[in-house]
Amino acid sequence: MEHANNIIIKPELRKLVQDGWARCRVLFFSAPCGFGKTTVAAALLEGRTVQSLSAADGLPAALDPKCEVVLLDDVQLLRDCAEQEKLCGWMRTNREIHFVLLSRGIVPGWLLPFQFSGFMCTIESAAFLWEPSETEQYLAQCGISVSPAEAAAIQTATNGYALAMALLCHQMQKGVEFSQAVVDKVRRELFLHFETAVYRRFELPMRQVLISLAPFEQFNLELAQMVSGEIRVGELLSNLRRDTTMLLSDGRDQYHFWPIFQQFLLWELSQEYSIPEQQAVYSRAGLYYELRDDYAHALDCFEKSGEHRKVSALLVKNAELHPGVGRYYDMERYYYAMPEEEILRSPSLLCGMSMLTAMNVDFEASERWYAALKDYAARLKKSDAEYRDVRGKLAYLDIALPQRGSDGLAEVMVRIFRVLTDRQIKIPAFSVTSTLPSLMNGGKDFCEWSKRDELLYATLAKPVEAVLGRDGVGLADCAICESKFEKGEDVSQRLLSLLARQSEIHRKGTPDVEFAVIGLLARSQVAQGKAAAALETLDNLREEFVEAGETRFLANLDAMRCRIWLRIGQTDAADAWLREKAPASVPRMRAMWRYQYQTAAMVHIRREEYDEAQMVLAPLMPYCTACGRTMDELLLRLLTAICQYRMGSDGWQDTLSAALDTALEYQFIRPVAQYGGAILPLLTACGWEKDAAYFDRLLAQTRTQAVNYPTFLRPAKTLSEPLSPSEKQVLKLLCHDLSNQEIADTLGVKLATVKTHVNHILQKLNVKRRSEAKTAAETLHLV
């Protein structure tokens, strides 16, 4: 790093400026006040002839002919069109002069042509924030000695913000030790500076908008207008973006404040608004979120506004939704905080608590709440207004509670169908998928039904569709098609008939069944070796869901896309999904996210992170066993067996045999065969002999998938040692399918030399054939 007179410049920032200086004649520094733009610019331009200007003073008639650099500060204040054109003219005509423009705002529209043409380089605020090494250097320059732990705490407290560091060091140079008290004092000094240098310079309407938006991590124009009551909010926020980078854009009309500035605004809110006025801001925001069915944010706002009745009303409203639609996980802390006597007075809350506790694998509590609802129902007469509704909630829980499994569910459905036709109950909306791309392994596990799929389809299709209403449209046809698919049968005709009903399902049914149908289509395409087509199918559905606001499906849909990326070798995309979207399995397992957990385990297996994969899978097994989730148990055992086999554990045969026993019982082929080359070595070595005909079918379909996707869940190729420059040249030509002789002719070397290079390349890539070298090189981004 570079420093002089306590001026510290990050090496990365210096390089950005040097590279920009070499490529462009205009450098634009964009950062809020206190980032050290002016100080850094002056230090980097030391030794050059600089004409320093400020937009606040206006531009001179002409430039100094002797200057090498024009340094213009406060560009955000240059609003006169004639002045703007004068500066643009100087930059266009004075080709021997560099221009360094400093602004608290973003690049204004009138400078964008210079940026788009590559004439101007922009350096943004992140480049000015100090890393821990710069923070420690500055402390040392100020004569302040701290421990490593204190240095880390100072970095966290200041976030590398130069002004905050300067204020902190000023306090510590007085002999004050680092503590939370000194941090609070520095924060107050910083806020007072913001108040004078930034906030008070805004007109009153702008200030009112800013403090009304202070509580929100993210907001759009609608929310901004609703909480502030300012009809010109769009114009004001646009001006704020022009004049300062304190307001940042997330795209799609979403904004957030620079974190330290948001803390200042919250402080300013507490200074200027009374408690009732602050509560009114939260109340308006709560109404905004409630109108958009964003109950989690609405609850947070209503809680802060002190409107406890609205909190209770929202919890009741959400409890009337099934888990595929409701926001139970987002709202659970509010449910658990409710007084028990209040829950006991509400059938909706009793139903919701029974479902929520079941989703959290607390089946004892779930049954306790169910029993309380049953006691409530027992006190009602048929003539009571609540009778049909409460009986319907009990019937809903009989079907939907995960711990009930699917045993006896056929009889339950028939009984409910009878009372429905007599109008004795009113059953709530129901989802058999729980936003998963499956019916057999969605909200419930229907593997047991698969043993008698033809009979049940003939006898139960009508009652099931009647009980489930809109969620039943197309359900029976999709369920039997999926059952046949899992057994390895040809379902092309059934699938075509099902797709012919897609329009009806879209109009009269629900997106839950639509996702199950399209999910089955994508899986069928993958099984046929058409993974690229399957990915396009899912991408199209994702666009439709985003446009329709059906974001509740996106997490599982993206997990399904990730599985296809693994098959077609798009490992970077799969790694990005694991890093950015996969849910954490600790400290708490979420039953509704099991499809994503299994996908995460698959990515870990591909990365040879077998311990991590088993840590993700292990918490799922008790839940699956308790809830009779046969399909999930089967899949968990298969993935666990792959991990154990590759780790050299003796237990893999037992784990795999248990999975194969289950698959045989239900005649399932696809759940095993889908893992192709990853499971094939285990199948051929396990010695399982319970049904030779079944095993032959299973082995044949597994080999087909191994051929279709030879790298699926296979360990990533790595270089045993780096390639030499000559080997890199040979590899590049080899990947373009040139023969050894053609490579020798191209490089002007002997054939024997090329052969030696090729042998070394194969060894370093840990492959045996040239075709494998090409695949490995593409995977490792060597070509």
- What string of H, E and C letters represents the secondary structure of 118-179? CCEEEEEHHHHCCCHHHHHHHHHHCCCCCCHHHHHHHHHHHCCCHHHHHHHHHHHCCCCCCC
Over residues 46-90, the pLDDT tens digits come to: 999 999 999 999 999 999 989 999 999 999 999 999 999 999 999
Tell me which residue of 478, 543, 463, 556 sits closest to 510, measured CA to CA: 478
pTM exceeds cut of 0.85? no
List the Cα angle 600/605/608 in 5-degree steps.
130
Q: Give me the residues paired with residue 219 across strands.
A: 255
How far is CA 116 from its chain centroid?
31
Q: Which residues of the chain have pLDDT under 50?
A: 1-5
Over residues 259-271, the pLDDT tens digits come to: 899 999 999 999 9
Question: Around Cβ 100, how many Cβ atoms within 10 Å?
Answer: 24
- Token pair for 134: 């710069």
Identify the helix (H) or strand (E) that includes residue 30.
strand 26-30
pLDDT at 1: 39
175: exposed, middle or buried (C-beta count within 10 Å: 0-12, 13-18, 19+)? exposed
Give the span between the Cα atoms of 606 and 562, in whole angstroms: 12
* Residue whose tokens read 């643009």: 88
pLDDT at 400: 83
pLDDT at 445: 87
Task: Please give the backbone phi and psi of residue 109, each rounded to the nearest 5 degrees, phi first.
Answer: -55, -35
Whether the CB-CB separation of 730 and 743 falls below 8 Å is answered with yes
Give the span between the Cα atoms of 235 and 241, in whole angstroms: 10
Q: Give me the residues paired with residue 69 across strands.
A: 50, 98
* Residue whose tokens read 């039953």: 591
Whether the CB-CB separation of 594 and 443 falls below 8 Å is answered with no
pLDDT at 2: 42
pLDDT at 4: 40
pLDDT at 423: 59
Q: Is the sign of the CA dihedral 9, 13, 16, 21 positive or negative?
A: negative
Starting at the edge strand that comes first in sequence, how are the strands of the sheet with 26-30 ordered? 50-54, 69-73, 98-103, 26-30, 120-124
Q: Is the sign of the CA dihedral 638, 643, 645, 646 positive or negative?
A: positive
